[in-house]
């Protein structure tokens, strides 16, 4: 058997996240059905990690094991894209060593959250419309504090099955592009709901309801109840996953 690395993108609006759930449409479920029909064998596809309901990915990786592909990799991508719905797109399928693992081999992941400060019917599903004034400078000052800590219990979904809430964040920054605000964060791993909880709490800083020192206090408390509400899922994108040997 040969292991293959899959690169893809998807719009998560109509899916209940990545992971298969009985009776609900998921990205993994759609892919496994299409791959199995195309290759005429049961195919289990392992993803780089879960995404919440409604979250998008402009770049996502997965892997599967199979024999030799019936066509060239490019032809397989082309043919499978004709089977897949319009909101899922394959970018590449490449053979990799058998010890490659889409989830456990990853060195870091990058998420981007998009806020639109003007009402735009064309970004309804991909950006959070938030017309209130925000102090982006203060939000960036608070975001920089995330790099000082490694326990993010305050921003984790409660009652998950993870063994540790420790993550190493290497980048957390807000940038403005016209009416759009983007929050980009890179870390070695992320907790369930972590990015959306961080964004929601940073917006409290931007609105003047929470000081920068207060934001740091939220981190230190390790209490989800101390943080702000989670930002809506539809503004969140997984944009990058880095593996050993990938270009810097």
- Catalytic positions are 52
For strand 88-96 and strand 169-177, is the pairing parallel, antiparallel, or unpaired?
unpaired
Cα distances from 57 to residues 5, 52, 210, 239, in angstroms, run 16, 11, 30, 6
SS3 28: helix
What the block records as the tokens of 11 is 């719009």
CA distance 44 to 94: 16
CA dihedral sign of residues 188, 155, 59, 136 = negative
**What letter would DSSP give residue 156?**
S
């Amino acid at each position: 058997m040969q292991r293959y690395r899959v690169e893809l993108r998807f719009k998560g609006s109509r899916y209940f996240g990545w992971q298969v759930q009985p009776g609900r449409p998921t990205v993994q479920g759609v892919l496994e059905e299409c791959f199995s029909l195309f290759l005429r064998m049961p195919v289990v596809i392992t993803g780089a990690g879960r995404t919440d309901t409604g979250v998008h990915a402009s770049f996502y990786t997965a892997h599967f094991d199979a024999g030799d592909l019936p066509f060239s990799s490019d032809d397989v991508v082309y043919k499978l894209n004709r089977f897949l719905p319009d909101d899922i797109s394959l970018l590449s399928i490449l053979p990799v060593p058998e010890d490659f693992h889409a989830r456990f081999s990853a060195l870091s992941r990058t998420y981007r959250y998009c806020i639109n400060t003007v009402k735009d019917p064309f970004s309804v599903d991909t950006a959070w419309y938030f017309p209130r004034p925000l102090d982006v400078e203060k939000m960036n000052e608070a975001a920089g504090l995330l790099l000082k800590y490694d326990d993010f219990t305050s921003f984790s979904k409660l009652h998950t099955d993870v063994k540790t809430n420790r993550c190493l964040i290497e980048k957390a920054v807000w940038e403005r592009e016209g009416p759009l605000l983007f929050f980009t964060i890179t870390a070695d791993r992320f907790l369930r709901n972590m990015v959306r909880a961080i964004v929601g709490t940073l917006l409290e800083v931007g609105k003047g309801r929470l000081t920068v020192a207060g934001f740091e206090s939220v981190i230190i408390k390790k209490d989800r109840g101390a943080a702000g509400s989670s930002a809506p899922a539809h503004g969140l994108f997984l944009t990058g996953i880095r593996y050993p040997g990938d270009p810097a």
